[in-house]
Amino acid sequence: MNAVSKAKVAMYWAGSCGGCDISLLEIGPHLLELVAAADVVFWPCAADFKYHHVASYPDGYIDLCLFNGSVRNSEQERMARLLRQKSKTLVAYGACAISGGIPALANLATPEELFARSYTDCPSVDNPGGVLPRTETESLVGELEIPHFYPQVLRLSDIVEVDYLIPGCPPQATRVWEVCQAFLGGALPARAHEQLAGCTDKSVCDECTLEKRLVKISGFRRHHEAIPEPGWCLLEQGFVCLGAATRSGCGALCTKVNMPCRGCYGPSGEARDQGAAFIGALGSLLNAELEARAGELIDQIVDPAGTFYRFTMSDGDLKGHR
Amino acid sequence: MADPIAETAAPSPDGWEPRIIAFLCYWCSYTGADNAGTARLKYPHNVHIVRLMCSGRIDPELVTTAFARGADGVMVCGCHIGDCHYISGNHKTMARMPLLRRTLEAFGIEPGRFVFEWVSAAEGEKFARLVRDTVAGVRALGPLDWPGRLRARGVGHGRDLQPWGAQP
Ligand code: SF4
Ligand code: SF4
Ligand code: FES
């Protein structure tokens, strides 16, 4: 491939923790193959490009744009629109871009509550004047403006057309490299409609090697309260494990080290709403003959909404608090 | 993901009538509702009945979908414990629905909008009363209009996103 025809790739970081950028670095030596075959034309985490460089590119200049992070403010929205315009293929990379991810847990609170918690009420905050951030500020160099806050966390697909979804929090490096290879080999059609990539249509339970003893759950425990017995299904032991409602792709990574699946790859199979799907699955696994006993058991589950929609709050049916 | 909410009509503020979706199992609760009809018991027309073979088939996703598409309230009814035609279908229901209720509450959906009760084939009177109580409760709570709320926040279309207004 000569320099003129080299593919152009970009990676952007919106409302997310930065783990997705790390997951791309995690492909390790393959990164050298990637940059040998393609030019990185925008990747704020790793290369010194500015927004105005992107704005100066012709439309469709970027062949593959990996967009990670959710959209909660005007800057993220602007970049989503700009990168869509400049990219042939736009990928929602990671749980936040696809379904809100961890930032979208904030959808269970109002903006007022979020600001109060962050800037005044939190015990570690020292803000006697109750000063809150403002979007416009007068300074020595004139008026400065910071991005505007939106009422709730949105998915990338709420803003622009998305071609592919690579799930995970973050996506696993082996899966990411597979998708990169498909792209470099010309096996990834430029346009698609929210097509999943880098995952399978099975569930995490299908890939999990822990032994299912087919016993029903007699009590729930949180991970800091007990040490799981090695080799035995965590859910059967009473640790809330979302494997049954989560699509695979990670190879049941967490359960390999005795951590319950938190559901980061999103809903499995035909399910659209991961939380509702998990409630459906859990309901058939309780060791309760009497209604009162079933009630006692489910009351042991702390924060069901935050737990069952941990990575998919913006993508479930309800998408957040009224 | 394609959201159906953009096509859902917003309820008019005046002349609003509660829209209640009731998921009933075929063998007991639907027969109970039928019984109410045969006995000519009066109950409000706001309830739209969806019949499923067993309450164990009432996937929690049906309930979240109903709210997301504009229901003001949802009812779930099945056979009493011990009476399920499929023996243990309602054992799943008795675990799922209370857990779903706790989850819905975290989203700000009041308990009165989600009614879960056992109704036998002989309990036409109970069914009629349940509908009357549910409709009265939801009427007092007012419209839920989940689709309108999401539309206003840009979900599914991303147009005209308004910054959160209360910042000083
Ligand atoms: S519930 Fe969790 S621990 Fe049990 S089989 Fe599924 S993924 Fe493995
Ligand atoms: S086991 Fe679950 S939480 Fe862990 S990486 Fe896989 S999908 Fe994500
Ligand atoms: S048939 Fe009525 S609950 Fe199963």
Tens digits of per-residue pLDDT, B92-126?
999 999 999 999 999 999 999 999 999 999 999 99
Q: Which two tokens stand for residue B103?
A: 């989850």
B109 Cβ under 8 Å from any chain A Cβ:
yes
CA-to-CA dists, residue A10 to A31, B88, B144, angstroms: 13, 53, 42
Exposure pattern of B136-154 as b/e (b: 16+ CB <10 Å)? ebbbeeebbbbbbbbbebb
Q: Which ligand is nearest to the CA of B51?
A: 3
Ligand nearest to the CA of A251: 2
pLDDT of residue B3: 45
Query: How many whole angstroms from B27 Cα to the centroid of ligand 3?
Result: 6
Contacts of A63 (CB under 8 A, 6+ apart): A7, A8, A9, A38, A87, A88, A89, A183, A190
Closest CA to A95 of A246, A297, A217, A292: A246
Tell me which residues of chain B have a pLDDT lower than 70: 1-13, 166-168
Tokens matching residue A59 = 């439309």
- Predicted ipTM > 0.90: yes
| Omega of the bond leading into A230 within 30 degrees of 0 (cis) | no
Ligand 1 atom 5 nearest Cα: A205
**Does any ligand 2 atom lie closer than 6 A to the CB of residue A11?**
no
Reference A73, options A151, A134, A10; nearest CA is A151
Kindly tell me the burial class for residue A263, based on how many C-beta atoms sit within 10 Å of its own C-beta (0-12, 13-18, 19 or more): buried
Q: Which CATH architecture has domain B17-152?
A: 3-Layer(aba) Sandwich (3.40)
Whole-number Å distance, alpha carbon A257 to ligand 1 midpoint, is: 12
Class of domain A7-102+151-196: alpha beta
DSSP state of A314: T
Q: What are the sequence ranges of the domains in chain A?
A: 7-102+151-196, 115-150, 200-317
Kindly give the number of the ligand 1 atom that is closest to the alpha carbon of A241. Answer: 2
Element (H, E) at B24: strand B20-25
Contacts of B90 in chain A (CB under 8 A): none
Q: Is the CB of A245 under 6 A from ligand 1?
A: no
> What is the model's pLDDT at position A322?
87
Structure confidence at residue A62 (pLDDT): 98
Using alpha carbons, select from A232, A80, A95 the residue that is nearest to residue A169: A95
pLDDT at site B14? 73
* Tokens read off for A284: 């058939």
The confidence score (pLDDT) of residue B1 equals 42
- Residues β-bridged to residue B22: B49, B75
The protein residue whose alpha carbon is closest to atom 4 in ligand 1 is A233
Q: Which of B61, B81, B91 sits opposite A272 (nearest CB)?
A: B61
Per-residue pLDDT reduced to its tens digit, A218-274: 999 998 999 999 999 999 999 999 999 999 999 999 999 999 999 999 999 889 999
Q: Is A234 in the pocket of ligand 1 (CB under 6 A)?
A: yes
Q: What number of H helices and E strands is found in chain A?
A: 13, 10
3-state secondary structure (DSSP) of residue B78 = strand
Closest-CA residue of chain A to B148: A322
Alpha carbons A200 and A250: distance in angstroms, whole number: 9
Q: What is the pLDDT along chain A (322 residues), one digit of tens a residue?
A: 455 579 999 999 999 999 999 999 999 999 999 999 999 999 999 999 999 999 999 999 999 999 999 999 999 999 999 999 999 999 999 999 999 999 999 999 999 999 999 999 999 999 999 998 889 999 999 999 999 999 999 999 999 999 999 999 999 999 999 999 999 999 999 999 999 999 999 999 999 999 999 999 999 999 899 999 999 999 999 999 999 999 999 999 999 999 999 999 999 988 999 999 999 999 999 999 999 999 999 999 999 999 999 999 999 999 999 8
Q: What is the pTM of this model?
A: 0.94
Shortest Cα–Cα distance, A1 to chain B (Å): 36
